[in-house]
Amino acid sequence: MTVNAETHAGGHTWQSLPAAQQPDWPDQAALRDAIAELESYPPLVFAGECDALRHRLGAVARGEAFLLQGGDCAEAFDAVGADQIRNKLKTLLQMGAVLTYAGSVPVVKVGRIAGQYSKPRSKPTETRDGVTLPTYRGDSVNGFEFTEEARIPDPQRLKRMYQASASTLNLVRAFTTGGYADLRQVHAWNQDFVKSSPSGQRYEALAREIDRALNFMNACGVDPEEFKTVEFFSSHEALILDYESALTRTDSRTGDLYDVSGHMVWIGERTRQLDGAHIEFASKIRNPVGVKLGPTTTPEEALTLIDRIDPNREPGRLTFITRMGADKIRDKLPNLVEKVTASGAQVVWVCDPMHGNTFEAASGHKTRRFDDVLDEVKGFFEVHKELGTHPGGIHVELTGDDVTECVGGGDEIFVDDLHQRYETACDPRLNRSQSLDLAFLVAEMYRDQ
């Protein structure tokens, strides 16, 4: 295999390289048909929007803005109703408002939304009561239901992924530009949270300050229209390369390739092999790109990733999403940040405090402790403070619904509560109140920084 081969029969350099975590599609003819159809579909996003996000992330890399990236671990086809999308968006916007005020910097808002349908897994199979079946790999590949039939990878699902992404993005665009996301409304939701929940009451002082700031702007005659719309971007893990390749198009303005399935895509911890297809793919598209970095990442790997994906050292092009675990971040992160900074690269550093802190409760539920999540973010801020670098943002798995998937938080969820509303198809998400709790606590950290 050569990394630099310019093309292969399918057309793109990455298509001739080994790709980890791809489904074993049993029906290759059906796969080819699905890909051909996807290739004929219109883009979900415009290349110029991807450029805009890259510029916003450039400001994050320079320390002038903060990134809030969040949403489901795995979106599901049967969870794209208006209520679920609205609740998720509402939660992210509320978090964004708190962080904007406390940090006094723009918050770049990016959803794990409208495309987050594919999951890398640690095991190829799952066994329940002595029955072993292929593992669930996300709604884009197979069904969550534990039956032989549901678990067969079906390429028709790639088309449903496109359709579900399109309708989700359509509603998100409507909400964010049509007046629903008005900052004054978002602030009123935050006031509700502060008033009506025990965990919210701790943040009364901050909410009052925001209220005063809004009244002040009002009194100064700031045009209320300014508050009406909000910029919001989509992102997902670029995992299933047949899908991402079919949605990768040449931009007529520049001749560059863009993956028009979302504004930003990231490469996961399990697929970031330097000689693999995913990194080659990431290096060829002009979208802003993220790469997850777990605790085994060496500085040499990080530097090679920069050379591959960001050879021109363009702030905003590359985001490193570190997911070390609360017990490792203070040990592992400093060396990476130091070496990357010394190389002259200006990457965005983002903390994913979820994926290094997963454990299985006695009940069998995969869960995370709110305190571990918070402690990893704290460690992230400490390391950057010590090194004089910018803690660029957080990347979290969350939902706007009152699920019981992570333990702890101000409105505490106990291990015994997990079964009550455990709805995730993959990893445990912070619920609405845990997400807001986190935003207020991170806001305090950002301020102290």
Ligand X SMILES: C=C(OP(=O)(O)O)C(=O)O
Site membership for Mn ion, residue 164 (CB under 5 A): no
Distance of CA 296 to the CA centre of its chain: 21
141 binds ligand E4P (CB under 6 A): no
SS (H, E, C) 340-358: HHHCCCCCEEEECCCCCCE
325: left (phi over 0), alpha (psi -120 to 50) or beta: left
Minimum distance from residue 359 beta carbon to Mn ion (Å): 14
Please list, in sequence order, all residues whose beta carbon lies within 8 angstroms of the beta carbon of residue 8, skipping any fewer than 6 positions away. Answer: 15, 16
CB 430, min distance to Mn ion, A: 12
Please identify which residue in 31, 45, 67, 73 interacts with ligand E4P, judged by CB under 6 A: 73
Contacting residues for 118 by C-beta, under 8 A, at least 6 apart: 137, 138, 140, 141, 161, 236, 237, 239, 240, 243
- Give the number of other Cβ atoms within 10 Å of residue 265's Cβ: 25
Nearer to Mn ion, 242 or 269 (CB): 269
Nearer to ligand X by Cβ, of 321 and 337: the residue is 321
Q: How many CB atoms lie within 10 A of CB 379?
A: 23
User: What distance in Å separates the CA atoms of residue 43 and residue 46, rounded to the nearest whole number?
Assistant: 7
Decide whether 280 or 427 has the Cβ nearer to Mn ion.
427
Tokens of 286: 């002009």
* Residue 173 vs 270, nearer CB to ligand X: 270
User: Is there binding between residue 73 and Mn ion (CB under 5 A)?
Assistant: yes
Q: Tell me whether residue 51 or residue 280 sits nearer to ligand X (CB atom).
A: 280
Can you tell me the distance from the alpha carbon of 62 to that of 395, in angstroms, rounded to the nearest whole number?
18
According to CB under 6 A, which residues from 297 to 326 bind ligand X? Answer: 323
Binding flags for ligand X, 79-118, as an x/- string (CB under 6 A): ----------------------------------------
Stretch that binds ligand E4P, among 17-25, 90-98, 113-121, 249-257 (CB under 6 A): 113-121
139 or 427: CB nearest ligand E4P: 427
* Residue span binding Mn ion (CB under 5 A) among the ranges 85-93, 109-117, 248-256, 424-432: 424-432
Pick 368 or 390: Cβ nearer Mn ion:
368
Single residue of 244, 310, 427, 437 touching Mn ion by CB under 5 A: 427
| Distance between CA atoms of residues 387 and 389, nearest Å | 5
Token pair 């992330």 in the structure block, residue? 57
* Cβ neighbours for 306, distance < 8 A, ≥ 6 positions apart: 313, 318, 340, 343, 345, 347
Give least dist CB 380 to ligand E4P, A: 19
In sequence order, which ranges of 62-108 are alpha helices (DSSP H)?
Answer: 82-103
Nearer to Mn ion, 279 or 426 (CB): 426
235's enclosing H/E stretch is strand 233-237
Cα–Cα distance measured from residue 307 to residue 198, given in angstroms and rounded to the nearest whole number: 48
Contact segment (CB under 5 A) with Mn ion among 172-180, 184-192, 363-371, 421-429 equals 421-429
- At its nearest, how many Å lie between ligand X and the CB of residue 237? 6
Interacting residues toward ligand E4P by CB under 6 A: 73, 119-122, 355, 426-427
Interacting residues toward ligand X by CB under 6 A: 73, 120, 237, 268-270, 292, 323, 355, 427
Interacting residues toward Mn ion by CB under 5 A: 73, 427
